[in-house]
Structure 1
Amino acid sequence: MNVPYLLEAASLLVPEENATENDVTVSDIWDYLAHDEWEIALGLLEELGDGPPLPLAFWESLADAADQLRLERSAAWCHWRCSEIRNGVIRADLTLRPAAEARRKTPVPGHGVLRPMWDIGHLSPTGGAAVSIAGLWVEDMPFLEPGGRATVRLVPLTPSQWTHVEAGQRITMHEDRSVAGTAVILEVHLPDGHHGRSPRTD
């Protein structure tokens, strides 16, 4: 399947009234496609994907196109968005512990390769903490330094474990038994069939 076809297929899934922050619409993107400006078209389609939710097929087409164009950052983001649609996404304000206080001395990679454990309040049969795994994407930053703070996106490995999580809740990040960071939940969007609580607006 070639790149122009994939980008055209994705474009057909975007409502005509959708627009980016710079008022670019899907009709503008067709102009770029007509002139074989594929990378520009892909970037603009990604921006349109930040608006009202678009279907899984949209992100799958963009991911395939980005893979074929060998645009690693775009490919990682589009595959990540596919994961969000399948498993849900939790946005949170994460603060990592300083290097002097934590086992990790290097930055956390921002593009979805890390899948840390999270203490979200579950208990094991023996009464200890039972952690849940979720992938981590750092918004607007390639990585997060120890002691740093950023808005992050979490994709649960098992969405059903996260149905009780709600905005304002504090959770902790772990890469081993020690606490690697603390996060405050901002929004919870679980897929259909997993009835999590809606984000609070207060």
Structure 2
Amino acid sequence: MDRPKLLEAATLLVPEQIATENDITVRDVWEYLREDEWDTALTLLEELGDIKSLPLSFWETLATAAEQMRLRRSAAWCRWRSYETRNGVIRADLTLRQASEARRQTSFDGAGVLRPMWNIGNRTPSGEPNLNIARLWVESIPFLAPGGRSSVRLAPLDPPQWQHLGPGQVITMHEDRSIAGTAVILDVHRPRTPCDDAAGHVPGARERS
């Protein structure tokens, strides 16, 4: 399926009644599609997907369209939202340690590239900390530098290991055994279900970067 058809298919999954803060609705998306303004249509669909929880097929279709359009960050974001639709949302306020205090000396790409380890309170049979891997998406800014702070989203490699977390809990980020940063959990939302669809459940919207 080519990119216009993919965008049209995603648009059909968006309820007409939802609107962004700027009063953009799916009708506006159709106008951009008629004008072959595919990049703008994709961006607006992403924003509408942040207003109301939409099906997994919505995000997967958008991701495929973004990949065909060679929009790397949009494609990565839509794949990320596909993951969150299946597994739930974890958001946290992360502060990295200064370069003089940690292994990391440079900034990193915030678009889900980094896969650090996290101390979330799990223990090995011998009582030692059992670190868990989760990819990291930085909200609002494209890169995060040593000493920086931002809200982030986490995509655990093994989601069931993270089910005990709740708002206010403190976890630590590790790129080796030393602490690279400290994060305070902001929100935890369960995976999307058919019951949530009926209730209009929204599993967390992003701050665009």
Could you say which TM-score interval applies, normalised by the shorter chain?
A: over 0.9
> May I ask how many residue pairs the two structures share in their alignment?
193
Aligned AA (1:166):
G
Between the aligned partners of 2:100 and 2:89, the Cα distance in structure 1 is 31
Work out the CA distance in 1 between the residues paired with 2:181 and 2:21: 33
What's the counterpart of residue 103 of structure 1? 103
Partner SS for 2:66: helix
TM-score between the two structures when normalised by the length of structure 1: 0.93
The residue correspondences of 1:13-162 to structure 2 (distance < 5 A) are: 13-162=13-162
Asked which structure has the greater RCO (Cα within 8 Å, sep 6+), the reply is 2
In the alignment, the residues of structure 2 paired with residue 145 and residue 7 of structure 1 have an alpha-carbon distance, to the nearest angstrom, of 35
Change (3 A) 1:192 1:75: closer
Kindly indicate whether the alpha-carbon contact (under 8 Å) linking 1:117 and 1:134 is maintained by their aligned counterparts in 2: yes
C-alpha distance in structure 2 between counterparts of 1:8 and 1:192, whole Å: 23
Deviations 1:46-102 (A, max 9, x none): 110111111110001110100001111111111111111122221000000000000
SS of equivalent to 2:187: strand
Going by fraction, where is helix more abundant, 1 or 2?
2
Give the share of equivalent positions with the same residue, in percent: 67
Query: Which residue in 2 is equivalent to 1:200?
Result: none
Question: Which runs of 5 or more residues in structure 1 are unaligned?
Answer: 194-202
CA contact (8 A) 1:87 1:157 kept: no
Secondary structure of the residue aligned to 1:179 is coil
TM-score (norm 2): 0.90
Counterpart amino acid of 2:114?
L
For structure 2, list consecutive stretches of 5 or more residues without a partner in the other structure: 194-209
Counterpart-to-counterpart distance in 1, 2:89 and 2:177: 24
Which amino acid in structure 2 is aligned with residue 89 of structure 1? V
Q: Is the 8 A contact 2:90 2:154 kept in 1?
A: yes
Q: How big is each residue's C-alpha offset from its partner over 1:182-201, in whole Å with a ceiling of 9 and x where there is no partner?
A: 000000023269xxxxxxxx
> Tell me, what secondary structure is at the counterpart of 1:15?
coil
2:202 aligned residue: none
CA offsets 1:155-195 (integer angstroms, 9 cap, x no match): 111111011100000000011100000000000023269xx
